[in-house]
Structure 1
Amino acid sequence: MFARLRRHFGRVDVDGEESRVKQTKPKEAYRQTSSPETVLNKGQANEEEERLNRELELTTKERNELTDRLLYVTGGSMNKSPYFRPNPFYEKLKIKEKKVMSLLHNLDTNNIQYREKF
């Protein structure tokens, strides 16, 4: 989407982090596009921006509706989703947590037993 905007505004070779044309390359080194650049006037640029904003809003709305539907179908948990794959690192971490918690519980019980003896 941003590539199309850059083409429409005449900014073909733009750094991803900055919104201005790079000045370090000579003019011959600019990327050649298959179609000639179209320079839009302000009215056309505003119309194109509004169209892209509407398209983005519709896509976002559709994504949110599909997410809501998925949450409804899976009973409110993404873990029950048919496309959900558990992270193996998370599973290993849960196992380690259980071991540590059981060790901590054993230490607490041992501590209480030794205190009662003395």
Structure 2
Amino acid sequence: MLSRLRSLFGRENGEHPAARERQKEAAVRSQNETRQNKWSWPRHKNATEPSSQPMLLTKKQVKKEIERLSTDLQLMTNHRNELRDRLLFISEGKVDNRPYHKPNPFHEKLKFDHKQVMWELKIFEDEKTEASVKFSELTKETKFYRGLHSRLLMEESQVKRKVDMLKQEKKKLQEEWVLLKHHLEDLNLTYTNQEEESDLKIQKQQVRDVTDEGWHHFDL
């Protein structure tokens, strides 16, 4: 009989909340009466003659026992449903594939917290993706500017070498210019002296020619 009750109530997943309250109250009353019966039956048995036949329960007692077992079974079923919901939520993150019963506030809050966490996680993932893209772009720009800076340093080094070479050439040209200037001055001086000597020679020749002509006239 008890196995049939368990099989019948095992297929049920929930009842109306008012029925559950009545069942809980009946369970409490049944437990109290059961405790009283446990103490009253032995005393009654001792008062009567010993019998080898097992004591038979009255219909009222059987009915109460059935109600108590039904209430306990319903409580166990409800507890099983809660544990199943928690297990489904932990393993799959959802409890939509279970039979309907009264929503549990703990589950509702847990579902709300889970949605909130998943929403914040999505925002975090989006921000992470955006930050990763920006970081990749900044890395490329950094590499580009590093390469550009290296080229500029190389060009600066080449320009410095060219400037040093030009300075050396300028110094050399200045030295050559000084030498050429001195040489030109010497040439000018030599030319002037030669010109003066040439003029003197011409003058002397002219004087000699004039003198020779004068003597020639005298000879005539």
Under TM normalisation by the shorter chain, which class is it?
0.3 to 0.5
Q: Relative contact order (C-alpha < 8 Å, sep 6+): which is higher?
A: 2
TM-score by length of 2: 0.19
TM-score, with length taken from structure 1: 0.34
Greater Rg over alpha carbons, structure:
2
Report the structure, 1 or 2, having the larger helix content.
Answer: 2
